[in-house]
Amino acid sequence: MASSTLINIPAASLENERARWNAIYKVLTEPKPEIVPTPRQAIWRKNKSVLWHYPAAEKKYETPLFLVYSLLNKPYILDISEEGSVIGNLTKMGYDVYMYDWGTPGLEDRNITLDQYVTNYLEMSVRHALRHSRAEEISLVGYCLGGTMSAILASITDLPIKNLVLAAVPLDYSTFILPEKWVKAIQDGTLGFDQLTDAYEVIPSQFLFAVFMALQGFNIGPNINLITRGHDPKYVDKWRRMDKWMKDSVSFSGAAFKQMLKEWYKDNKLVKGEMIIGGKRMDFGNIKCSLLVITSTRDELVLESQSLPIMDLVSSEDKTYELVEAGHVSICLTGQFAFAVDPWLSSRSKVMQPN
Amino acid sequence: MTNEKTADFFTSYRKISEMWEKGLNDFLFKAVDNKELIGLTKVGVDAHSRYVERLKRNHELIASYWNLPTKKDVANVAELTIQAEEKVDMLEQQIWSMQDAFAATFQEQQTLIQNVMEFNQQMHNELIKTAKGLSADVKKLGNEITEAADLKNIEEMREELAGMKEDLEEMKNLLKQAKVQPELAGSST
């Protein structure tokens, strides 16, 4: 049976084309959009870091949620727009949310180590959140490097952490996204960055941005997407917010950077349980609370194999692993993260008792 | 049979771009995975680090000649603020510990007072109960005493009756004697 294929070429809509090229022109010429956060209150400040409290729209759970974002990026990706806000959606779901913003270190913070970040900053902020909420327990939710810090904290602290959620978390550094020979060169010390770190003292944000860009290779996808979907104002708005966040990187303390490269990337001390934090030897085996590990299918920065080992290392009896259809950043950008976490978390959070 | 397909220029453009992007990235990934490039990067990083170090040294030197504060001086001052903040944090922690200890002591005290009050109440109840029991006992005793007093009266009456009986017997004897004496008198006359 013969079959013929008809190709239907739709006529270009003048309206669509005008909207598309107008949007592109705006992106190129207008200032970046202003990000308006969900109503919040700063309850504790230390150095450049801030602990924010986002009260629940209608409080449903007694157990508050503590979000920890990466040290290498600004956390407003979790609250980037009204519709796609992870924090906004969580507060609408009835959670009292606390978020820790690490801040951008200056030259005076050049000697802050990862130990200090965990014990003097993160642990203290969780204590403040617990005190502020008057809750008996708290759920710790860490994303990317924030997840690594949360996992370290959970393994050494005596704080009442009820649930631990780790999303796109790099823990096992036996392999990472660099080509094989580069991974080997870093691990055997052929390629080191100690001298560079000592020279800069604080790794400049531009340097980190350049590293991120280099890791992504030819990253023309976002620009192509802007052209192809430029006629859709909602998409353009989201694109502009994402673009702003991408280029708004932070600096990093030199001491912490050196420690990270040596103890994580080179010696892989996290999964070996050899890292000493605040005089205590960290061991993921000390984690006994409920654990949820989330990885995304299209994550090009953190490999699934970097997150998975924790499932076998913890002592938790209640542990869940979830693979979500998303990218490393898009899971937060779309607010999808809140919906990925809620079903698991809601059944493990203490529900408010009616008065 | 016909298959109708819609060909959108932008969709095709995106698909082709994605294809190219992936192809180029795969190529780049393989192309950079060589030892020579790693060696070259190391040389570049070291040279750049030395350059930055020298630049900073010279900057500090010039600033010291002109007696100008540098970013490092400002950072050192800021570090003092951070240290002060650390101390405030430690103090806050100690205050919290004290507050918690006070709260715990207060709680214990409350429990103790509660227990004492409960004990007191219990004692009070026991006392009332005992007092009630005692008054009942007293009443009973009173009744018994009254009853005993009545018995005493009966005894007295019995004694009186016994006395009266004796008197009666005596009177009877006297009467008998009186009856015998006239008879004797009559016979003698």
Q: Which structural domain range is residue A295 located in?
A: 35-346
SS3 content of chain A, % helix, strand, coil (to 5): 45, 20, 35
- Model confidence at A10, in pLDDT bands (50, 70, 90)? low
Among B1, B56, B79, beta carbon nearest to A3: B1
Q: For the ranges A10-14, A46-50, A196-200, B4-8, which has the lowest average pLDDT?
A: B4-8
Among A9, A120, A220, beta carbon nearest to B86: A120
What pLDDT shows up at residue A75?
93
List, as ranges, residues 194-223 from A with C-beta within 8 Å of B: 195-196, 198-200, 217-221
Among B4, B28, B79, beta carbon nearest to A8: B4
- Model confidence at A42, in pLDDT bands (50, 70, 90)? very high
Instruction: For chain A, say whether B91 makes contact (Cβ under 8 Å).
Output: no
Residue A51 lies in a domain: yes
Give per-residue pLDDT as tens, B165-183.
888 888 888 888 887 776 6
Domain ranges, ordered by start, for chain B? 12-68
Residue A351 lies in a domain: no
Instruction: For chain A, say whether B7 makes contact (Cβ under 8 Å).
Output: yes
Q: Is the pLDDT of residue B189 over 80?
A: no
Tell if the CB–CB gap between A3 and B2 is shorter than 8 Å.
Answer: yes
What's the total number of domains in chain A?
1
Pairing label, strands A319-327, A4-8:
unpaired
- How many Å apart are CA A36 and CA B53, to the nearest integer? 41
CATH number where A261 lies? 3.40.50.1820
List, as ranges, residues 223-252 from A with C-beta within 8 Å of B: 224-225, 227-228
Residues of A in contact with B85 (CB under 8 A): 46-47
Q: Which long-range contacts (CB under 8 A, 24 or more apart) does B45-48 make?
A: B45/A191, B45/A193, B45/A195, B45/A196, B46/A195, B48/A196, B48/A199
Identify from A195, A200, A227, A229 which residue to disrupt to test chain B contact, counting B C-beta atoms within 10 A and taking the largest count.
A195
Residue A10 lies in a domain: no
Q: Which residue spans within A103-215 are E strands per DSSP? A: 138-143, 161-167, 202-203
Tell if the CB–CB gap between A181 and B34 is shorter than 8 Å.
Answer: yes
ipTM above 0.85, yes or no: no
Residue A7 lies in a domain: no
- Model confidence at B150, in pLDDT bands (50, 70, 90)? confident
What's the mean per-residue pLDDT of chain A?
91
* Residue burial A322-332, b: 16+ Cβ < 10 Å; e: rest: eebebbbbbbb
- How many Å apart are CA A3 and CA A53, to the nearest integer? 63
Biggest distance spanned by C-alpha atoms of chain B: 188
Give per-residue pLDDT as tens, B119-139.
999 999 999 999 999 989 999
Tell if the CB–CB gap between B17 and A179 is shorter than 8 Å.
Answer: no
Instruction: For chain A, say whether B36 makes contact (Cβ under 8 Å).
Output: no
Instruction: For chain A, say whether B28 makes contact (Cβ under 8 Å).
Output: yes
* Residue burial B127-158, b: 16+ Cβ < 10 Å; e: rest: eeeeeeeeeeeeeeeeeeeeeeeeeeeeeeee
B106 to chain A nearest CA, in Å?
A: 18
Instruction: For chain A, say whether B176 makes contact (Cβ under 8 Å).
Output: no
Residue A69 lies in a domain: yes
What pLDDT shows up at residue B4?
53
Residues of A in contact with B53 (CB under 8 A): 198-199
Tell if the CB–CB gap between A179 and B30 is shorter than 8 Å.
Answer: yes
- How many Å apart are CA A49 and CA A116, to the nearest integer? 13
Average pLDDT over residues A180-198: 92
- How many Å apart are CA A223 and CA A203, to the nearest integer? 28
- Contact pairs from chain A to chain B, CB under 8 Å: 119
Give per-residue pLDDT as tens, A119-174.
999 999 999 999 999 999 999 999 999 999 999 999 999 999 999 999 999 999 99
Average pLDDT over residues B31-42: 93
Average pLDDT over residues A195-202: 94
Give per-residue pLDDT as tens, A256-283.
999 999 999 999 999 999 999 988 899 9
- How many Å apart are CA A150 and CA A146, to the nearest integer? 6
Q: Is the pLDDT of residue B107 over 90?
A: yes
Instruction: Of A258, A329, A257, give the one whose Cα is nearest residue A300.
Output: A329
- How many Å apart are CA A334 and CA B8, to the nearest integer? 26
- How many Å apart are CA A53 and CA A43, to the nearest integer? 7
- Asked if A59 and A268 touch (Cβ cutoff 8 Å), the reply is no
Q: Is the pLDDT of residue A185 over 80?
A: yes
- How many Å apart are CA A145 and CA A156, to the nearest integer? 17
- Asked if A17 and A228 touch (Cβ cutoff 8 Å), the reply is no
- Model confidence at B185, in pLDDT bands (50, 70, 90)? low
- Asked if A287 and A151 touch (Cβ cutoff 8 Å), the reply is yes
What's the mean per-residue pLDDT of chain B?
88
B56: which 2 tokens?
Answer: 């900073």
- Model confidence at B187, in pLDDT bands (50, 70, 90)? low
- Asked if A275 and A115 touch (Cβ cutoff 8 Å), the reply is no
Chain B: residue whose CA lies nearest to A46: B85
- How many Å apart are CA A170 and CA A271, to the nearest integer? 10
- How many Å apart are CA B27 and CA A222, to the nearest integer? 20
Instruction: State the DSSP code for A299.
Output: -
A18: which 2 tokens?
Answer: 């005008």
Place of tokens 């997840």: A147
Chain B: residue whose CA lies nearest to A111: B79
Residue A198 lies in a domain: yes
Instruction: Of B47, B53, B41, B28, give the one whose Cα is nearest residue A186.
Output: B41
